[in-house]
Structure 1
Amino acid sequence: MARVLDDLVTIPGTRITLGADALVGLVPGVGDAATTAMASIILFDAVRARVPLPVLARMVANCGLDALLGQLPLVGDLADIGFRSNRKNLRLLDRALTDPRRAEASSVAYLVSAVVMVLVAVAVMVAATLFALWWVARMLGLL
């Protein structure tokens, strides 16, 4: 998923890659919402693997920052190319899974905390998308 979202194709003659996040994100509001939903799959994998909460919090912050930057016209599209939140989250997940010293979290409190963090992140992303759509509609005189 991270490869599809961040590194799907390489621009000929360069080392710059584009993924679905940058390409679909060109569609105002809806594109970023769709790619954010796809990016949340990595978060759910992290929750299922019971990565430590600090790692999960960094992953959620990466997704949230990517979603917020994506709401800014043109700047958000450039941020999708430069920030690569999905690649960062995959590296965080890989490190958490391969680090033998990682904490084993098996309590109900861990699961509740993880689910709440993911739900809050998704709610913030949805709110940002709805605000962007409202703003665009208002600027076009539809509201």
Structure 2
Amino acid sequence: MTASGTHYTRTPQSEKLKWVNHMATLMDNQFRFPGTKFRFGLDPILGFLPVVGDMASFGMSAILIMTMARHGASGKLVALMLVNVALDAIIGSIPILGNLFDFAFKANERNVNMLRKHYEQGAYQGSGKGIFIGALLGILALFILLAWILWQLGSWIYIQLAGLF
């Protein structure tokens, strides 16, 4: 049974990937807000540590994906997992908005669920090169937009501070 309460068939792969499931739960669903059903993990908590926390979360997600790839995830599935982690890393690095995003998105849980579907239904066959290239271009565009927004914000702050002196 997973943290979300769904059952899945035990296969040799699922036994080998028990650690992956445990780490995904730790990163995305380990804790519960008192009095609610809302769960969260270390990922959004680490997001409160600028740069270091985001890098630690990204590193753990990358290790999970590498482990899943070694245990039979197709190229297409790995590409889709990388898209989830990239979105989590990029949007999660935006102050305040990123912290809220980290509480809701749960990239590691999504990736484990996709892997489970891959094993049970044989989904996500193929190389995933097209998805990877498209995701890379989309992430690059998002990064450029984020850099432009930060530049504009920095320019505005500089002008405001220069006006005070």
Give the TM-score, by structure 2 length: 0.60
Question: What is aligned with 2:16?
Answer: none
Question: What is aligned with 2:105?
Answer: 83
Contact preservation (8 Å) 2:77, 2:124? no
Give the TM-score, by structure 1 length: 0.69
**Structure 1 ranges of 4+ moved more than 3 A:** 100-103
**Residues 86-133 of structure 1: CA distance to partner in whole angstroms, max 9, x if unpaired?**
110010111112224665x8xxxx6xx7xxx7xxx8xx8xxx8xxx9x
Task: Note the 1:1-143 alignment, pairs <5 A.
Answer: 1-100=23-122, 103=125
Q: Separation in 1 of the partners of 2:117 and 2:38? A: 25
More displaced stretch, 3-12 vs 93-102: 93-102
Q: Separation in 2 of the partners of 1:6 and 1:91? A: 12
Number of equivalent positions? 115
Q: Higher relative contact order by CA 8 Å / sep ≥ 6: 1 or 2?
A: 1
**Residues 22-53 of structure 1: CA distance to partner in whole angstroms, max 9, x if unpaired?**
11110011101001101112211221123222
More displaced stretch, 68-77 vs 94-103: 94-103
Q: Separation in 1 of the partners of 2:76 and 2:122? A: 16
Q: Separation in 2 of the partners of 1:7 and 1:20? A: 8
Superposition RMSD in Å: 2.7
Aligned-pair identity (%): 29
Shift of 1:83: 0.7
Shift of 1:81: 0.7
Question: What is aligned with 2:4?
Answer: none
